[in-house]
Amino acid sequence: MTARYAIYFAPAKHSPWWRFGAGWLGRDEVSNTPLTAPTAAPLDADTQQQITAEPRRYGFHATLKAPFRLRMGNTLDDLLVQLRRLADTLKPVALGPLHATALGNFVALVPVLSLTDPLKLAARCVTELDALRAPLSEAEQARRRAAPLDTRELALLALYGYPYVLERFRLHFSLTGPVASTVAEHVLEAVAEPVALLNAYTPLVLDRLSLFVEPAPGQGFTRLTDLELAG
């Protein structure tokens, strides 16, 4: 089985935040079709296309449970049943204002406020769905360990197949792949006004679990379904 699944939060299609994020990345992750990204000064179109190539493959989202393969004996239907049960017990979380910032060598949107509710929600996605996850292959483990990980992150990688979970989790929406600091500054300038307007008029609420699939290695992740939080 080559398909990988991921539990993300992605704003509802056609919502203002979705139009911003999908437009910025240049991809509709529901229909798996390209979008013409509006040129955002001081960036030119070619630069924006290049720096968004990595997150474009995943679609505009915040990760709740990182991509994983299903354990042998489990099916997509099993995952959907468990995901529905989980969504029925979770309450929507107001994320408050977001702002763009550099996280290491990439730019992302993150909540301005330090919030514990998204961390708790993501932890439940990680732990309560983990019985369905196949162990990482040796190659996948080696790729993850290539990043600088501390002792706790290595332990989380061994437990859950991803190092940035539980207390190491930070909710974010990636806007770029790796970029130079000067380019990062241009991105921050380009998105400041539209993000401020979104914060003012349509504050973002984490109100759904979005199931994404990567059908085969290297293909774009597409959104299979949304399960609205009903707790």
pLDDT in tens, 16-62: 999 999 999 999 999 999 998 776 778 888 999 999 999 999 999 99
Distance in angstroms between the alpha carbons of the first and the last residue of the chain: 33
- pTM value is 0.96
Give residue-wise pLDDT tens across range 148-202.
Answer: 899 999 999 999 999 999 999 999 999 999 999 999 999 999 999 999 999 999 9
Q: Which CATH number fits domain 4-228: 1.10.260.40, 3.40.50.970, 3.30.1360.120, 3.90.1140.10?
A: 3.90.1140.10
Residue with tokens 């300038």: 189
Distances (CA, A) of 138 to 109, 119, 130, 150: 32, 29, 18, 19
The residue-averaged pLDDT of 218-223 equals 96
Strand partners, 211: 7, 225
Q: Which two tokens stand for residue 112?
A: 């301005």
pLDDT, one tens digit per residue, over 110-147 is 999 988 999 999 999 999 999 999 999 888 888 888 88
Per-residue three-class SS string for the chain:
CCCEEEEEECCCCCCHHHHHHHHHHCEECCCCEECCCCCCCCCCHHHHHHHCHHHHHHCCCEEEEEEECECCCCCHHHHHHHHHHHHCCCCCEECCCEEEEEECCEEEEEECCCCCHHHHHHHHHHHHCHHHECCCCHHHHHHHHCCCCCHHHHHHHHHHCCCCCHHHCCCCEECCCCCCHHHHHHHHHHHHHHHHHHHHHCCCEECEEEEEEECCCCCCCEEEEEEECCC
The pairing of beta strand 62-68 with beta strand 222-228: unpaired
pLDDT at 191: 96
pLDDT band at residue 1 using 50, 70 and 90 as cut-offs: low
* Joined tokens for residue 56: 């474009």
Does the N-terminal peptide bond of residue 42 adopt cis geometry, omega within 30 degrees of 0?
yes
User: Which pLDDT value is given to residue 142?
Assistant: 87
